[in-house]
Structure 1
């Protein structure tokens, strides 16, 4: 079976709302509800774990999971202080029968179920060709010039933008590789900004699938505005 882990335990305040950003309404329903719906409609996701702050457990169950009939959600888990801790909390509950895991940000609602499914299919395909490939992620190409800087904000060099991609989610892995990576990170006291970094650190290969620049992470008021425009334009969700 395949599992979706949706991280929604952040307490960001940049949207200047009186509720956590993942619960803010986007075109009439909470951002998190849009995101879960994508995984609910996936052909290859069997179960979904949702991770939220402790104080939002009851709210999420009543106003999102029950209200929208998300019957693939089998666990509602308290998240950690960091994203890495949050995913680690989810990994404790993964059933033995699980083969692959897709980890996704709860505030990235502008993906399609087909993208989620494509990552599962590509992971199997890549691993068949090279058994060292244990993960595959969505990533968007850089379209602005990238500069590496020093501590005093001086430019060290210009990085060719055709070699640089912005990592997105979902990020999909074989379960055993992801669990191994997180155990190693805990032992090694490694903090990473995404799951792929941890899997790479223990020597496995991670491939990218070119993603869409519309797959934004909603963290600011302008992000919310753009998301509303994209949904209105594409008619998704």
Structure 2
């Protein structure tokens, strides 16, 4: 069923990662012997049901990304490296405009999330063909508190209905494009792509992912990433 659809992947790698406290973009820091971004793209590059990969990176890093990651590691499914915008949402929209004109399904994934498993990519594509919008995530482990501006607890949320959203997030291409255009029209800025589709009144399916599908955000995450990499080897 998947083979009947043209599947494009947009890798979001335009963020500077201020919480990393590094002069190097977090996507280009090494885990093991490869940059985080190379690990990430490789998973999709090896997946036979992916037809093309668009990498969206910082405007100042387009040439570096092509030379040091795409070409150096032979990631041949990457068809374009495009410049991102000031916000993630703008970067994804730039990616949506760059995909192949006959794209059916589009997969959005964080460049700093290198431990995604192929099985979740394939499940997401299958579910998106059926339901048009799919997210992956995991139930939260911690108790979640709502805190006011004075740092006082206002409310304790029901942990049983709370999930931490991850990527990949997978969509019918035309649906996600419409959701982005609507957000631009309304001046709305979301934190991920599923919320843009939710604003249209569309349902988004949630799939169980894994807790090791972490996003490299802080220096501590690099140590955790090294441990995950060793464990998988």
TM-score (norm 2): 0.94
Is the contact between residue 137 and residue 207 of structure 2 (CA under 8 Å) also seen in structure 1? yes
Runs of 4+ displaced beyond 4 Å: none
Equivalent residue runs for 1:1-237 within 5 Å: 1-125=6-130, 127=131, 134-235=132-233
Is the contact between residue 52 and residue 79 of structure 1 (CA under 8 Å) also seen in structure 2? yes
Q: 1:149, CA displacement in angstroms? A: 2.7
C-alpha distance in 2 between matches for 1:51 and 1:176: 19
Unaligned runs of 5+ in 1: 128-133
C-alpha distance in 2 between matches for 1:54 and 1:194: 21
Q: 1:60, CA displacement in angstroms? A: 1.0
Kindly report the root-mean-square deviation, in angstroms, between the aligned alpha carbons of the 2 structures: 1.1
Please name the residue that 1:131 is paired with.
Answer: none
Q: Deviations over 1:162-209 (max 9, x none)?
A: 100001001000001100000000000000000000000011110110
Give the length in aligned residue pairs.
228
Give SS of 1:14's match: helix
Give SS of 2:114's match: coil
Is the contact between residue 42 and residue 114 of structure 1 (CA under 8 Å) also seen in structure 2? no
C-alpha distance in 2 between matches for 1:163 and 1:42: 32
Q: 1:45, CA displacement in angstroms? A: 1.0
Is the contact between residue 5 and residue 103 of structure 1 (CA under 8 Å) also seen in structure 2? yes
Is the contact between residue 8 and residue 105 of structure 1 (CA under 8 Å) also seen in structure 2? yes
Q: 1:12, CA displacement in angstroms? A: 1.6
TM-score (norm 1): 0.93
Q: 1:92, CA displacement in angstroms? A: 1.4
Q: 1:62, CA displacement in angstroms? A: 1.1
